[in-house]
Amino acid sequence: MACIEARGLAKSYGKTHALRGLDLKVEEGRILGLIGPNGAGKSTALQAMLGLIPYQGELKVLGLDPWTQRDKLMERVCFIADVAVLPRWLKVADAVDFVAGVHPRFDRAKADGFLAKTTIKRTSKVGQLSKGMVAQLNLALVMAVDAQLLVLDEPTLGLDLLYRKAFYDSLLNDYFDETRTIVVSTHQVEEIQHILTDVAFIDRGRIVLDCGMEAFEARYAELMTSADKADAARALGPMQERSVFGRHIFLFDGAERARLAQLGEVRTPSLADLFIAMMSPSQGVSE
């Protein structure tokens, strides 16, 4: 069953087209990475899914229309934005009390358990916490809600490496149970590859890649070869070519791996490498 299904999703701000007929389907129990450069339409797509903005086209989230049934939808959805939304004067304990009072599916014991794993003091004000601690607090609050869909929009923006890793490890180990669905929007591709079941690249308001990670690993291949075999590799029609320390690296879509192996070392590319290849000007796509 689809958790999110969009067909021809469109949104314009005056003459600026943020979404241009976006099509996307996310099955229940999956972790989707919605990846794109700045201004590609990631946040606009998420805002439409959350019922925050009107839109054109067809969109269902958990079987509901986000714009006309937002109140009902929000009982089953949690959201973390790229900026902290908790007031700086609010104490941690009061934040827990507030969410407990407004959300019928909030489990205070779970929130307390998650916070106990951090160094956050319940008497501290949000304004006294580091960016990493605020992210931990936000995550503890949403993980304590029995939601079917968790939407994350650049959730680790501005955090250092240790906090970013801890955030995603906690998300995977303490929250995801293969029945919930998670959508992570980011341009930090390398940060999330290890947690994803599915990936979608978005550029200029359209989905340009949509596949499961197993299909990604089967479809794309990276070949590293020497200069004397570079012409043979080019004859196979790579998506992209680059040189590193005198070695030639080619990225292929759908090429036969056994044939590539005759020319050099073959491996599965990273999502970051594929993202750069698909978004590069040489591919007809601008930043």
Any domain includes 209: no
On whether residue 170 sits in a domain, the answer given is: yes
Show Cβ contacts of residue 70 under 8 Å, excluding neighbours closer than 6 positions.
50, 51
**Cβ distance 126 to 95 under 8 Å?**
yes
Same domain, 85 and 224: no
Domain total in the chain: 2
Distance CA 175, CA 155 (A): 15
Question: Exposure of 191 by Cβ count < 10 A (0-12 exposed, 13-18 middle, 19+ buried)?
Answer: buried
Q: Does residue 211 belong to any structural domain of this protein? A: no
pTM score of the predicted model: 0.89
Same domain, 37 and 160: yes
pLDDT at 82: 66
Residue 247, pLDDT > 60, answer: yes
For 171-181, the pLDDT digits (tens) are: 888 889 889 99
204-224 pLDDT, tens digit per residue, is 999 999 999 999 999 999 999
User: Does 121 lie in the same domain as 60?
Assistant: yes
Residue range(s) defining the domain that contains residue 274: 216-283
